[in-house]
Structure 1
Amino acid sequence: MPALTPTDFTGQNAVDGYGPGFFRIAGKVHQGAQVVEADRVTPWGGLDDPGPLLALAGRVDVLFLGLGAQVGYAPRDLAAQLDALGVRVEAMASATAARTYNVTLSEGRRVACALIPV
């Protein structure tokens, strides 16, 4: 299982690692796709389940969208809906999204990541 670089995230949900079908977040294993914020982790049904992403409005400014092992684009309609709510979306592979989320979280910014397992 690949591990991510340790940083002090006391009281915050950092992504510690990942593997086939799961993510380790703040020391706990979560199966399947997840939406991760500093103070909560929410199971997510993937790109066909926009509800948990739309619920980020007002809580985060940037969402790092992890598309599994693939690099791709956020669906246009989803990106437009989130943009209208004031949430900027950056799509990338899940490993990159997790690392970018951790770094940005450590800077004290209002961020989240939505991760599809690899």
Structure 2
Amino acid sequence: MRLNEVTFTDAVPVDGYGPGFFRVGGQPVEGAICLSAKGTQSWGGFDDAAMLLALADEIDVLFVGTGGEIAHLPGDLRSALEEAGIGVEVMNSPSACRTYNVLLSEGRRVAVAALPV
């Protein structure tokens, strides 16, 4: 089996997470986050659609982590994202972070917005 070292482009992967925080680039970040090629930003949760919509020209898929358990996105948020041409995948935050890291390592145009567990 051949193993290759994974390298990331401009965006930084999620290194880990725990109760109320994520670790990004070796640094703990408290609360909800949004990661993309623009960097790491605090995210205001489901009421903060503006931050996510600002990514429309830079990403193809947004992974939304809903915390420790999977939950539905508010209908108006999902509609706004889809109207902006952003593919939306909703899952619990650990799954969203793992999926984001894998696709990021493949050079895909992705972002993750996640609520802490």
Inter-partner Cα distance in structure 1 for 2:53 and 2:77: 9
Q: How many residues align?
A: 113
Instruction: Return 69-78 or 95-104, whichever deviates more.
Output: 69-78
Inter-partner Cα distance in structure 1 for 2:9 and 2:56: 24
Inter-partner Cα distance in structure 1 for 2:51 and 2:98: 21
Determine helix, strand or coil for the equivalent of 1:81.
Answer: helix
1:51 partner amino acid: A
- Structure 1 counterpart of 2:48: 49
Measure how far apart 1:27 and its partner are. 1.4
1:101 aligns with 2:109: no
- Structure 2 counterpart of 1:32: 31
RMSD in angstroms over aligned alpha carbons? 1.5
Inter-partner Cα distance in structure 2 for 1:20 and 1:113: 18
Gaps of 5+ in 2: none
- Structure 2 counterpart of 1:58: 57
Q: TM-score, normalised by structure 2?
A: 0.89
Q: Percent identity, aligned pairs only?
A: 51
The higher radius of gyration belongs to 2
Displaced runs of 4+ in structure 1, greater than 2 A?
Answer: 6-12
- Structure 2 counterpart of 1:111: 110
Measure how far apart 1:10 and its partner are. 6.0
Structure 2 contact 11–35 (Cα < 8 Å) conserved: no
Q: TM-score, normalised by structure 1?
A: 0.89
- Structure 1 counterpart of 2:88: 89
Structure 1 contact 68–93 (Cα < 8 Å) conserved: yes
Determine helix, strand or coil for the equivalent of 2:45.
Answer: coil
Inter-partner Cα distance in structure 2 for 1:58 and 1:11: 16
Gaps of 5+ in 1: 1-5
